[in-house]
Amino acid sequence: MKFGDLIVAIAVIAIIIIIIVPVPKWTLDILLTLNISLALLILLLSMYTEDVLEISIFPSLLLLSTVYRLALNISTTRSILKDGDAGKVIETFGNFVIQGNVAVGFIVFLIIMIVQFVVITKGAERVAEVAARFTLDAMPGKQMAIDADLNSGLITEEQARKRRKEVQQYADFYGAMDGATKFVKGDAIAGIIITFINIGAGLVIGMVSKDLSFKEALNKYTLLTVGDGLVSQIPALLISTATGLVVTRAASESNLGRDLIDQLFGNNSKIMFVISGVLMFLGIFTPLRTPYIVMGLLFAFLGYSMKKKVKEESEEPPVEESESEELRKPENVMSLLKIDDIELEFGYGLIPLADVNQGGDLLDRIVMIRRQIAMELGLVVPIVRLRDNIQLNPNEYIVKIKGVDVAQGEVLFDHYLAMNPGTAEGELEGIDTVEPAFGLPAKWVTDKEREKAEVLGYTVVDPPSVIATHLTEIIKERAFELIGRQDVKMLIDNVREEYPAVIDEVVPKLLSLGEIQKVLSNLLKEQISIRDMVTILETLADYATITKDTDLLTEYVRQRLSGYITNKYVDNSELKVVTLDSEVEELIMKSINQTETGSYLSIEPNTAQTIINSTLKSVQRLTSIGEQPIILTAPIVRLYYKRLTEQVTRDLIVLSYNEIEPSIEVQSVGMVSL
C-alpha cells in the first residue's frame, strides 16, 4: 500500500476512535481548526472545478467530512458537559458571537443554523435529486447519439469508448450525489439536536453537579454551546454551499469565477448604463445620496470599460484566413483523396430512416450489422459512412465499396415489403417490386395491408430492415475487399495479447502482413470465417516453411478448419453433393501451370465451357430436390475448379474431401463430366 493510501486509511480509523476516546483540549483545538480548513478547501475546489468528473470523489468526501464533523461534535459535547470547558477555539467563537448578550447571541446562532438547513441544504438536496433523475433518463439518448456519431464517421472507436465511459461516470456521480446530500441534511439536523442537548444538559449538570446558579449555568453553557455550534456549523455551511455549487453548475464549461465575470460583466455595456442611471436617479432625488451616487458612477465606469473593450476587439484584424487562402492549403487537397471503405447514400425521402430525431433507427441497425459480421466472419467492418444525395431519386439508395457503386435499391418510406415464402395464400394489393438483397419477387404494401399480409402468411419487413439486409449481404459478399494490411495488424495484435508465441513465430519471420492478408482475403471470398485466428496462424506457421504460395496456404488453412466448414454446410450428418468425374479432375490437374508469381489454370475455351455447362446441369438437378448446390472435389483440384466456375457464378460452393469430417455420410447425386 502506498504511503498516501496508508495515511488516508489511518485518518478514517482515527475519526472513529475520536468518537469513543476522549481527546485533550489542545488536540481538540487543532482538529477543529483542521475541520474549518478542510471545509474551505472543499468549497474552493467546487468553485474552481470546470468538470464534475475532476472531483468524482466528492460524494465520498461529503461522507468523510460529515463523519469527521460529527465525531468532533461528540468530543466537544463530552468536554462541555464533563469539564465545562472545550478549549480555546470554542470559547473564542462563543465570546465573538454572544459579546455579553446571551439572548441576542443565541438567536443569531439559531438563524445561522436555520439558514443552512432550510435554504442551502434543502435546496442542494433537491437539485441533486433532479440532476440524478435527468442524468439517468438521458443515458439511452446519449448512448444512441454516440453510436450515431460513430457510424457516421464523426468520431473514432476510441473516442466512442471514451464518451460512453464519461456518460456512465456522470450517471454514477449524480446518482451518488443524490445520496450524499442526505449526509449533509442529516448532519444539519444532528447539529440542531446536539445544540439543545448541550444547553439543556449543561443547565442541569451546572446547577446540580457544579453548584452554579441558573443564570451562571445558562451564561456558561450557552456560550460554550454557541461556540461549539459555530465551530461545527461554519464548516457545515461551507460544505453545504460547495455541494450546492457542484450540483447547480451542470451546464457550466468553466470555473465559477470566470463564468460569473463573463456572464455578468460580459459584452453588454447597455445593462451597466441602465443600472447606473437608475442608481444616480435614486441618489439625486432621495435622501440616500452618497452610496447610490457612488455605485451609479461605478456601474457607469464598468459600462464604459466594456464598451471600449468591445470596440477594440472589433477593430482588430481577423485572424482567420480568407476562404480563397484556405482552399489553397495543400492539406485541403489531401483530405479529398481519402476514400471511405463503405458508403451508404440515399435520397432525401429516406433521410427520416437515418435521423434519430425523427425516430429513425438505421444507425442502430448498422451497429448490429457490424456486430453480426464480426461474429459470423470474424471481420471488423469499417465505419459505414451515411450520406444524403440529392441527385438520387427520393426513395433510392446506393451502396459503395471504396468509392465504387456495387449495389442500389429503392424502398418506399411509408410502406412495408411483403414477400411470399412459398406458403402464403391469397393476393395482396400493392406495388410489385423485387427484394434487393436476394432478388425475390415482392410487393410494397401500405400499413393497412400489413396485417392482412401477415395473416395470409407473407413475410413482412419495414424499409430499414430491407436496407439493413441488403447492406449486410453486400458486406459479406465484398468482405475480401474490405480487409487490408492495417486490419490484419489489428487482428494480429489482438491475438498477441493471449497467444504471443504463435505471432512471434509467424510474423515477420515466416510471412509478411501482406501475405497473411491474401490468405484471409481468400477465405473471406468464399465466406469462410477468420474469427479463429489462432488456428489460422498456427496452420500458416506449420506450412509457411514449405511454400510461400498464398493460394496453397489458404487450402491448408481450409483443411485445418474442416470442423467449422462441416458444421457450416452439413445437416443431420448427411451431405448431398455433385462430384467431378475422374477425367475432369485429371484434365484440371494437368492444366495447372506453376509460375514465379503463382499458379493458374490453362484449359481450352471449348473444354472449359463443356465443364461449366455440365456443372450447371448437375447443380440444377441438386436444387430441384431442395438441396444446397455443393461440388465435392479432390483437394488439389478444388481451388482451380472454383476459379473456373467463378466466371459463371460466385455462389457455387466448392469443397474438397479433406474439408469434410470423416463422420459425415456423403451422397453423390450428380457428376460433372466431359
- Hey, what's the cell of 559? 483443411
Q: Count the neighbouring beta carbons within 10 Å of the beta carbon of residue 550.
A: 20
Is the distance from CB of 559 to CB of 656 less than 8 angstroms?
A: yes
Give the pLDDT of residue 313: 65
Model confidence over 130-188: pLDDT tens digits? 777 777 777 777 777 787 777 666 777 788 888 888 888 877 777 777 777 777 777 77
Pairing of strands 574-580, 630-633: parallel
Give dist(CA 640, CA 602) in Å, integer: 10
The domain boundary residue, chosen from 480, 505, 528: 480
Query: Does residue 411 lie in a domain region?
Result: yes
**Average pLDDT of span 371-380:** 91
For residues 213 and 304, membership in a common domain is answered with: no
Residue 548 in domain: yes
The per-residue pLDDT for 265 is 66
Q: Average pLDDT, stretch 450-472?
A: 91
On whether residue 333 sits in a domain, the answer given is no
The yes-or-no verdict on residue 533 having pLDDT over 90 is yes
List the one residue out of 35, 132, 129 whose CA is nearest residue 75. 35
CA distance 273 to 302: 8
- The closest of 111, 35, 105, 109 to 73, measured between CA atoms, is 35
Pair 382, 351 in one domain: yes
Examine residue 330 and say whether the peptide bond preceding it is cis (omega within 30 degrees of 0).
no
pLDDT 10s digits, 262-320: 666 666 677 878 888 888 888 887 777 778 888 888 888 887 887 777 777 666 554 44
Q: Do 249 and 118 belong together in one domain?
A: yes
Last residue within a domain, chosen from 455, 480, 505: 480
Q: Can you give the pLDDT at residue 229?
A: 72
Average pLDDT in the 323-331 region?
A: 54
The domain total for the chain is 5
Cell for 561? 478448419
pLDDT of residue 397: 94
Cell of 367: 451497429
In a domain, 555, yes or no: yes
Predicted confidence (pLDDT) at residue 558 exceeds the cutoff of 90: yes
Question: What pLDDT score does 102 carry?
Answer: 65
Same domain, 272 and 231: no
Among 417, 450, 480, the domain boundary falls at 480
Residue pair 151/366 in contact by the 8 Å Cβ criterion = yes
Neighbours of 383 (CB within 10 A): 18
d(Cα 74, Cα 21) in Å, to the nearest integer?
A: 10
Q: How far apart are CA 601 and CA 610, in angstroms?
A: 15
- pLDDT tens figures, 56-115: 787 888 788 888 888 887 888 777 777 777 677 777 776 766 665 667 667 777 777 777
Q: Is residue 330 part of a domain?
A: no
CB atoms within 10 A of CB 354: 23
Q: Name the percent of the chain lying above pLDDT 70.
A: 90
Distance from C-alpha of 143 to C-alpha of 138, rounded to nearest angstrom: 9
3-state DSSP assignment of residue 530: coil
With cut-offs at 50, 70 and 90, classify the pLDDT of residue 556.
very high
Position 467 in a domain? yes
Range of weakest confidence among 5-14, 190-199, 330-339, 634-643: 330-339
314 located within any domain: no
Residue type, 440: L
Please report the pLDDT score of residue 65 as a whole number: 82
For residues 340-363, average pLDDT: 86
Q: Are residues 56 and 101 in the same domain?
A: yes
Select from 373, 325, 362, 617 the least CA-distant residue to 479.
Answer: 373
Question: In this structure, are residues 407 and 436 in contact, taking their beta carbons and an 8 Å threshold?
Answer: yes
Whether 518 and 604 share a structural domain: no
pLDDT at 326 over 70: no
Assign residue 656 the CATH number of its domain: 3.40.50.12790
CATH of the domain at 494: 1.10.8.540
Residue 294: which domain range? 268-309
pLDDT for the residue numbered 101: 66
d(CA 488, CA 27) in angstroms, rounded, equals 66
Contacts of 153 (CB under 8 A, 6+ apart): 340, 383, 385
Min mean pLDDT across 163-172, 278-287, 329-338, 561-570 is at 329-338
Give the distance from CA 141 to its chain's centroid: 11
- Looking at the fold, whether 239 and 298 belong to one and the same domain comes out as no
**What sign has the CA pseudo-torsion 88, 92, 93, 95?**
positive
**pLDDT tens track for 400-444:** 999 899 999 999 988 999 998 888 888 888 899 999 988 889 999
Q: What is the band of 321 on the pLDDT scale with cuts at 50, 70, 90? A: very low
The length of the chain, given as a count of residues: 674
Same domain, 513 and 383: no
| Same domain as 469, residue 488 | no
Whose CA is closest to 554, among 526, 580, 579?
526
Cβ atoms within 10 Å, residue 130: 13
Q: Report whether pLDDT(480) > 50.
A: yes
Does residue 642 lie within any of the structural domains?
A: yes
Q: What mean pLDDT, rounded, does the chain reach?
A: 82
Assigned C-alpha cell, 308? 471600449
pLDDT at 240 over 70: yes
Q: How far apart are CA 560 and CA 197, in angstroms?
A: 83
Beta bridge partners of 653: 630
Q: Do 475 and 487 share a domain, yes or no?
A: no
- Count other C-beta atoms under 10 Å from residue 361's C-beta: 17
How wide is the angle at C-alpha 195 spanned by C-alphas 16 and 13, nearest 5°? Answer: 5
My answer on whether 252 and 357 are in the same domain is no
Residues 106 and 212 in one domain: yes
